[in-house]
Amino acid sequence: MNLGRITGQVRIVGAGLLGASIGHGLRAKGVDVILHDASRTTATLAIDYGAGRAPQADDKPSLVIVAVPPDVTAEVVARELMAWPQATVTDVASVKVGVIDELIALGADLDRYVGSHPLAGRERGGAISARADLFIGRPWVIGRGEPFRRRAIEDVVIELGAIPVTMSASEHDDAVALISHVPQVVASLLAHRLAGASDAAVGLAGQGLRDTTRIASSAPELWVQILGANAGPVASVLREFQAELAVAIEALENPDAPGSRRALAEVLAGGNDGVARIPGKHGTSKQFSRLVVIIDDKPGQLARLLTEIGEANVNMEDLRLEHSPGAQFGLAEISVLPEKEATLLSELEARGWKIAETFA
Amino acid sequence: MNLGRITGQVRIVGAGLLGASIGHGLRAKGVDVILHDASRTTATLAIDYGAGRAPQADDKPSLVIVAVPPDVTAEVVARELMAWPQATVTDVASVKVGVIDELIALGADLDRYVGSHPLAGRERGGAISARADLFIGRPWVIGRGEPFRRRAIEDVVIELGAIPVTMSASEHDDAVALISHVPQVVASLLAHRLAGASDAAVGLAGQGLRDTTRIASSAPELWVQILGANAGPVASVLREFQAELAVAIEALENPDAPGSRRALAEVLAGGNDGVARIPGKHGTSKQFSRLVVIIDDKPGQLARLLTEIGEANVNMEDLRLEHSPGAQFGLAEISVLPEKEATLLSELEARGWKIAETFA
């Protein structure tokens, strides 16, 4: 029973986290999902978990989704285009220009191919970690191409709860270089500086350091592939970063030279401008007021706090927990609309909560 | 009534966020706090708010805490050392070597001075934002120096709930360059790259970009002072960053050259090593299992979730909220001890919660 807009068979090649998650999501909507993987064990496992069914001799997929590692994506897309002469074929690789270049070199039928890329969280897992709702609310880039082919992919994206975004392959690769690949390199370079630091120095670490370096814990194997596949756009953004870094270092090494303070101020103001471009909740970059509440580090405390925020009829816009090393309590940073701050502050204080800090 | 270990008068010079917060914290413990500020309006305001009392002719402080802007700290410390020939004098400036150099140049009595630095969150505010519990659980660096003088400062640090950490001025400045000042510069340089980006590109932003650039929204005026005062140590760490950045760019611009993949892998692995050095909750860097739960974006939902986690008798180690732009729901990422994951997963699913993702 298909309740949605997808009427044909969907064939998924590659039963890792992305492929199996697409399978689960589409099957939940009643779609006939054919699952194939080069590894029979992987395919069987994903099918056992309910991500799709095994291929049959009379399969006739209208859409093929290739969800294999980036370095073999083009080859598999070309093979699928040959195998299913009517089908639309897409892939979900995180870099797009290289796939098209390879497909051209392979002489593939590009009329039926439109690349895509779901920006779906952490790329860990495999079939066991797959989830029907992995894509809910996430952007999913679909390449420019033949409208009929694009529509077939868009139908899947919408069924999975993702938000379709149209971009050419090079627009996409430039965008992900900027918003994902360069931050990864920069976070890794920054975190590496800590490798030789004293315990005393890292013991002073606050939330700022934790935030700026968190993604530096990503898997090197995967990221070498991603960076290699998008090397040009990543290098180009890093070159700009490098030029401004040189200005900052020059200013710091000559702090009393004329213009040095101004150069540093411009670096910092540039950062202000940039961070203001990142869309916040509901697509806005609205500024919230924040309250920092002290909570005991035991079950139920945070729930009680949030229940009481709810009772105060204040909608929490964001929440962040912070633990102090060695301390038996935590800090909950609560963001609310500025006009709600005073109400919340007095309600919480009336209920005995200790507010560590408030700022707009 | 003084319930703690501080028996003498404490004089605080500078009634901004830090000075007034120290005042509130010490008065709550029954200490006689004298508050002075170069601005009579600021002093009166802070005294009205209860951060201390006005100076009197017969004051005899045993400890003076200088909490004025970094660029006038040494001058004020020297003046206070002269004014109170018996008193221990400290300051709370975020950079330490420069203060000592200036004090030497001013011929100050360094036997009675020991510098200190509370790593107390965001440096915003003023007296109105001051809070008695601003320092709870935070590290507070105290310089090396005469043990009797150090003890006087340590008593205050402990009364305020902070964690005393001993470091020389240069150890301190190197440490904060690494864990605070360099991350600030790097985050600003990274965020600045977004200033000219298309809306479509920034629309793909995920949590990684938000985390790596969050501190780039800091106030440029304050940070120009801090970076200027610690220019040498900051430049030195940035030079190392710059050298490795050049290697990364070289590898990206020649992705097929021998050794390029390896060079990138080493950058990424170096980041893994560095991030592993940052102490986590309770001083450990234990790895938690994480569950991502889908919650409706309305009051009470998150509280219900957390109440039910408490009912399942699972202690949440960390919590992070993530909102999808344009979506009417959020994702709550819950960290728990690995042995609690299965219990929590089944308990939450039994109560109808949708789990978007789980990973170790």
Fold of the domain built from segment(s) B172-275: 6-phosphogluconate dehydrogenase C-terminal fold (1.10.3660)
**Which of A134, A220, A261 is the closest to B272 by Cβ?**
A220
Q: Which residues of B touch A238 (CB under 8 A)?
A: 245, 248-249, 252
CATH of domain A172-276: 1.10.3660.10
The answer to ipTM > 0.85 is no
Does the pLDDT of residue A26 top 70, yes or no?
yes
A122-131, A255-264, A269-278, B126-135: least confidently modelled range: A122-131
Q: Which residues of A touch B232 (CB under 8 A)?
A: 252-253
**Which of B309, B315, B356 is the closest to A134 by Cβ?**
B356
A19-33, A129-143, B259-273: least confidently modelled range: A129-143
A25-34, A155-164, A335-344: least confidently modelled range: A335-344
Rounded Cα distance between B199 and B115, Å, is 47
Taking an 8 Å cut-off on Cβ atoms, the answer to whether B282 and A326 are in contact is yes
pLDDT at A123: 42
Q: Are B87 and B61 contacting, i.e. CB atoms less than 8 angstroms apart?
A: yes
Q: Are A46 and A30 contacting, i.e. CB atoms less than 8 angstroms apart?
A: no
β-pairing, A116-118 vs A139-142, is antiparallel
Taking an 8 Å cut-off on Cβ atoms, the answer to whether A178 and B185 are in contact is no
Rounded Cα distance between A12 and A32, Å, is 11
Taking an 8 Å cut-off on Cβ atoms, the answer to whether A185 and B267 are in contact is yes
Mean pLDDT of chain A: 88
Fold of the domain built from segment(s) A283-359: Alpha-Beta Plaits (3.30.70)
The three-class DSSP label of residue B323 is: strand
β-pairing, B61-66 vs B9-13, is parallel
Tokens of B149: 């003088």
Taking an 8 Å cut-off on Cβ atoms, the answer to whether B324 and A186 are in contact is no
Taking an 8 Å cut-off on Cβ atoms, the answer to whether A303 and B299 are in contact is no
* B58 to chain A, closest Cα gap in Å: 34
Q: Which residues of A touch B202 (CB under 8 A)?
A: 179, 277-279
Q: Are B167 and B29 contacting, i.e. CB atoms less than 8 angstroms apart?
A: no
Q: What is the mean pLDDT of residues A62-67?
A: 98
Tokens of B35: 């508050």
**Which of A121, A224, A356 is the closest to B264 by Cβ?**
A224
Query: Which residue of B129, B141, B198, B212 is the best one to mutate when testing the A interface, meaning the one whose CB has the most A CBs within 10 A?
Result: B212
Domain with CATH 3.40.50.720 in chain A: 9-167
pLDDT at A207: 85
Domain with CATH 1.10.3660.10 in chain B: 172-275
Tokens of B157: 């640090």
* B105 to chain A, closest Cα gap in Å: 18
The upper half-sphere exposure of residue A7, i.e. CA atoms within 13 Å in the direction of its Cβ, equals 1
Higher pLDDT, A125 or A93: A93
pLDDT at B186: 98
Best CA proximity match to A201, nearest among B178, B283, B281, B240: B178
Rounded Cα distance between B351 and B107, Å, is 70
pLDDT tier at A1 (50, 70, 90 boundaries)? very low
Q: Which residues of A touch B291 (CB under 8 A)?
A: none
Q: Taking chain B (360 residues) in consecutive chunks of 10 residues, what is each chunk's mean pLDDT?
A: 72 94 94 96 90 96 95 96 97 96 96 95 63 87 94 94 94 98 98 96 92 92 91 98 98 95 97 91 54 75 80 77 57 82 88 72
pLDDT at B297: 65
Percent of the residues in chain A that have a pLDDT greater than 70, as a whole number:
91
Q: What is the mean pLDDT of residues A205-226?
A: 91
Q: Which residues of A touch B333 (CB under 8 A)?
A: none
Domain with CATH 1.10.3660.10 in chain A: 172-276
| A-B C-beta contacts closer than 8 Å | 458
pLDDT at B1: 42
pLDDT at A2: 45
**Which of B244, B264, B299 is the closest to A313 by Cβ?**
B299
What is the per-residue burial (b if ≥16 Cβ within 10 Å, else e) of A309-337?
Answer: bbebebebbbbbbbbbbebebbbbbbbbe
Q: What is the mean pLDDT of residues A284-313?
A: 74
* A128 to chain B, closest Cα gap in Å: 10
**Which of A131, A178, A306 is the closest to B303 by Cβ?**
A306
* B85 to chain A, closest Cα gap in Å: 33
Domain with CATH 3.30.70.260 in chain A: 283-359
- Determine the residue of chain B that is closest to A210 in CA distance: B278
Rounded Cα distance between B164 and A62, Å, is 67
- Determine the residue of chain B that is closest to A180 in CA distance: B209
Q: Are B65 and B92 contacting, i.e. CB atoms less than 8 angstroms apart?
A: yes
**Which of B194, B218, B325 is the closest to A282 by Cβ?**
B325
pLDDT tier at A137 (50, 70, 90 boundaries)? confident
| Superfamily of B9-167 according to CATH | NAD(P)-binding Rossmann-like Domain (3.40.50.720)
Taking an 8 Å cut-off on Cβ atoms, the answer to whether B194 and A274 are in contact is yes
Taking an 8 Å cut-off on Cβ atoms, the answer to whether A277 and B206 are in contact is no
- Edge-first strand order for the sheet with A116-118 is A116-118, A139-142, A163-166
Burial-class residue B234 by CB neighbours within 10 Å (0-12, 13-18, 19+): buried
pLDDT at B358: 62
